[in-house]
Amino acid sequence: MTKPSDSEFERLKSIMQQLRNPDGGCPWDLEQTFETIAPYTIEEAYEVADAIEREDFTDLKDELGDLLLQVVFHSQIAQDSGLFDVEDVARSINDKMVRRHPHVFGDAEERDADTQTEAWEAIKARERAAKGAVTEDTSALAGVAKALPALMRAEKIQKRAARTGFDWTEPRDILMKLDEECDEVREAIDSGDLDAIEDEIGDLLFVAANLARRFKLDPEIALRRSNAKFERRFRAMEQLASDQGKTFSELSLDDQGALWDDVKRLEKG
């Protein structure tokens, strides 16, 4: 395996500069802004995660390239606006990584992974406090990006709240809260109020995310795992129906449920 040379990165910068050049550049690239490119950036990050989950490392190389392009694209837009350039971006993250690893680049004592995580969060908190004069947001929840996927953001704000001591200590307490939220969902359904139903389902998901966090599990990963399980079983049901000369969508719900049970039994061997 070879390390990409600096010249390839310089080539990528040059390509993006030409694409954004008003004299002979690409009309589409010239029209783009931070806001129009942001959804592509998010999409590329998810495609990186997908390649990792599939253990397709050839695809991972390509997807990382697509994600790197997003960094260069945003940086070029910023440079065109006189804000900063990709060198400033690299300098910023270099400085941040050195600052957040004093046990490696400074004279702080050696740390294990758990201790480093605590120190990392403490350093980030100091960084947020240093920005307080500008942001005027001194909350323990400050700086958690609103654009994060909802389950991921739930976990992050719960972690922040927990560091102030506001947290359940026992899983059974969270399970009791889940039962309470289920009851409130039922009450909302009985009321027929869609806004209340949405609100209570959100509360239910929020508590479920807290339960996952209590066991140091990522609720986003847990849900992706369930998504994959459902997709696997659903496709297997379709295949079983096809093997029987039937169209799955034309089966009764009872017959579809029977196929679901068959698939589950087959999985268990």
What pTM was estimated for this model as a whole?
0.64
pLDDT at 99: 87
Higher pLDDT residue, 64 or 110?
64
Asked if the model's pLDDT at residue 4 lies above 70, the reply is no
Higher pLDDT residue, 126 or 88?
88
Give tens-digit pLDDT for 203-259.
999 999 999 999 999 998 899 899 999 999 999 999 999 999 999 999 999 999 999
Asked if the model's pLDDT at residue 133 lies above 90, the reply is no
Give tens-digit pLDDT for 155-207.
999 999 998 999 998 999 999 999 999 999 999 999 999 999 999 999 999 99
Cα–Cα nearest to 177, from 214, 140, 148: 214
Asked if the model's pLDDT at residue 148 lies above 90, the reply is no
Asked if the model's pLDDT at residue 2 lies above 50, the reply is no
pLDDT at 108: 67
pLDDT at 53: 86
Asked if the model's pLDDT at residue 131 lies above 90, the reply is no
Number of residues assigned to the chain? 269
Average pLDDT of span 114-119: 66
With cut-offs at 50, 70 and 90, classify the pLDDT of residue 100. Answer: confident
Q: What distance in Å separates the CA atoms of residue 219 and residue 138, rounded to the nearest whole number?
A: 27
Average pLDDT of span 109-131: 66
Quick one: tokens of 227?
């998504």
Asked if the model's pLDDT at residue 107 lies above 90, the reply is no
DSSP line for the chain: --PPPHHHHHHHHHHHHHHT-TTT--HHHHH--HHHHHHHHHHHHHHHHHHHHHT-HHHHHHHHHHHHHHHHHHHHHHHHTTS--HHHHHHHHHHHHHHT-HHHHSSPPP--HHHHHHHHHHHHHHHHHHTHHHH---STTTT--TTS-HHHHHHHHHHHHHTTT-S---HHHHHHHHHHHHHHHHHHHHHT-HHHHHHHHHHHHHHHHHHHHHTT--HHHHHHHHHHHHHHHHHHHHHHHHHTT--GGGS-HHHHHHHHHHHHHHHH-
With cut-offs at 50, 70 and 90, classify the pLDDT of residue 135. Answer: low
pLDDT at 139: 86
